[in-house]
Structure 1
Amino acid sequence: MNQLAQRLTPLVSYLADERAHTGGWTPGIRTDEAALSAMTAQDLWALFRAFVNTREPIEPDKGWLKDQDALLHDIIADRGITAIDDACVIPSATDPRLRLWRGDITAIRADAIVNAANSEMLGCWAPGHLCIDNAIHTFAGVELRLECARIMREQGTPEATGRAKITPGYNLPATHVIHTVGPIAAGHPSDRDRELLASSYRSCLDLAVAHGLHSIVFCCISTGVFGFPQQEAAEIAVRTVRAWLDRHADTSARADRSGEPADSDHDSTPTTPTVIFDVFGEADEHIYRQLLGIPGNQAA
């Protein structure tokens, strides 16, 4: 048994024992000590992720949590962490405030990454699902669902489309996660869907400034299972972000000249955040390269 398997085994054993008492999803295979000791690190990781994805937001044992945090920290470090100033994060040729990066959003160090959430705001519950919501919650650790559950209990209602919430990033390289619920377009967006998608981008930027953040990494909101066409979604994203940055920069400039906020409805700050558009696939990369005026074929 290699070192990763040795570290995963007690974590998975705890989760399996916990699930036997709480009920819920089970893997349909043996999870006793003998069975776990015979598994590969890859199988143990898949089992760990599945248990975490389907785990209710309840406080775990502190020792278990400490071991989880250490493991996730090491796994993320071993995969490699990208900084927003690395050469692979490419500035727009037409707007230096905007950058493009193709890669796993859980591997970038920034003040905030954006999670494409659902209205429950508790992450993806499908074991091992390869959506961004699942990945962010997996690598942040169980603390993220706990914090999201606390926020939603206080709110008392599902999160509205086009709004956003901010949490710590926990074990992620990003300091914060901004969660937003994009519109469900099912391939045919309405004018209301277009406005709600723009609202998601503005809400995330508003939160970033309110919390003094200097960089924010956007995923492609609503273009996955929510079915917003990629080209149109990207056009809305870039147009909305540029307009928000222009307006905020103008507000800040007027505040600097007057010594007072120029718009009482918006916070003033001397700087606007650097915005990185993160894409995962070739098609999205091609679209954003065209919109940002970046030549070539590779952004990773």
Structure 2
Amino acid sequence: MMSSIRNKLLVTKGDITKLAVDVIVNAANSSLLGGGGVDGAIHAAAGPELLEECKRLNGCKTAVIHTVGPIINLEVSDSDKQLLSNCYKNSMDLTHKNKLKSIAFPCISTGIYHFPKDEACQIALTTIKNWFKENGDSSIDKIIFCVFNEQDED
């Protein structure tokens, strides 16, 4: 099972909005009204229509999956770990439910939300591995972890 999952995983550095995937996961803030990092890049690439749609809907329902990761203040709690895991699991669930085949994740919560990168990476990989154990029949065949810089790539 794990070798087949490895064949589906790819780590790349670059602009997540330029990837050829069915789903882009947006590490958003809770308002969904744009911000910095990946959220800002997606809003910039989509243009003002995305912001207007998000405002109109009081949240946004588009081809982009929006997820809000935990903010780490002092140390990572078990609740923070579960919240981060849920970001990945719920994104995979939505991709599967909509019968889509490929998904790109940014590094969720590791920027201004201060989740330790190594721990966040382990949670992401473990969550994806466990998700495939529970959803072996999934049509998802490509998961890209799109990182922002060389430190994230390691």
The answer to whether the 8 A contact 1:112-1:208 is kept is: yes
Pair 1:93–1:272, CA change in 2 (3 A): closer
In the other structure, the counterpart of 1:196 is 83
**C-alpha distance in 1 between matches for 2:56 and 2:94:** 18
Name the CA shift for 1:233/1:166 in 2 (closer, same or farther; >3 Å): farther
- Relative contact order higher in (CA < 8 Å, ≥ 6 apart): 2
The residue number in structure 2 matching 1:97 is: 8
Q: Displaced runs of 4+ in structure 1, greater than 6 A? A: none
Partner of 1:208: 95
Greater CA drift, 221-230 or 138-147: 138-147
The farther-off stretch of 144-153 and 133-142 is: 144-153
- The one-letter amino acid paired with 1:110 is V
Residues 111 and 214 of structure 1 are in contact (CA less than 8 Å); yes or no, is this contact kept in structure 2? yes
Where do residues 26-45 of structure 1 align in structure 2 (5 Å cutoff)? none
TM-score, with length taken from structure 1: 0.48
Which residue identity lines up with residue 283 of structure 1 in the other structure? Answer: Q
Shift of 1:244: 0.5
Q: Encode CA deviations 1:152-185: one digit per residue, 9 max, x unaligned.
A: 26xxxxxxxxxxx651xxxxxxxx3111000001
> What is the Cα deviation at residue 148 of structure 1?
1.9
SS in 1 for 2:66: strand
C-alpha change, 1:93 and 1:214, in structure 2 (3 Å) is closer
Q: 1:146-161 to 2 correspondence within 5 Å?
A: 146-152=52-58
Q: 5+ unaligned residues in a row in structure 2: which ranges?
A: none
RMSD, aligned α-carbons: 2.0
Q: Partner residue of 2:19? A: 108
Q: What's the secondary structure of 1:109's corresponding residue?
A: coil
1:283 and 2:151 aligned: yes
Query: Counterparts of 1:1-300 in structure 2 under 5 Å?
Result: 95-124=6-35, 129=36, 131-152=37-58, 166-167=61-62, 176-186=63-73, 188-249=75-136, 252=137, 269=138, 271-286=139-154
Residue 117 of structure 1 and its aligned partner are, at CA, apart by 0.4
Structure 2 contact 95–140 (Cα < 8 Å) conserved: no
Aligned counterpart, 1:49: none
Q: Structure 1 residues 108, 94: CA separation in 2 closer, same or farther (over 3 Å shift)?
A: closer
Query: 1:219 & 1:187 partners in 2: Cα distance?
Result: 23
Query: How far apart are 1:150 and its partner, in Å?
Result: 3.1
Residue 247 of structure 1, CA deviation: 1.0
Counting matched residue pairs gives 152
What TM-score results when the alignment is normalised by the length of structure 2?
0.90
Distance 2:24 2:5 in 1: 23
Matched-pair contact (CA < 8 Å) for 1:114–1:219: yes
Instruction: For 1:166 and 1:228, locate their aligned partners in 2 and report how far apart those are by CA, in whole Å.
Output: 26
2-structure distance, mates of 1:117, 1:94 = 27
Alignment partners' CA distance in 2, 1:166 and 1:243: 27
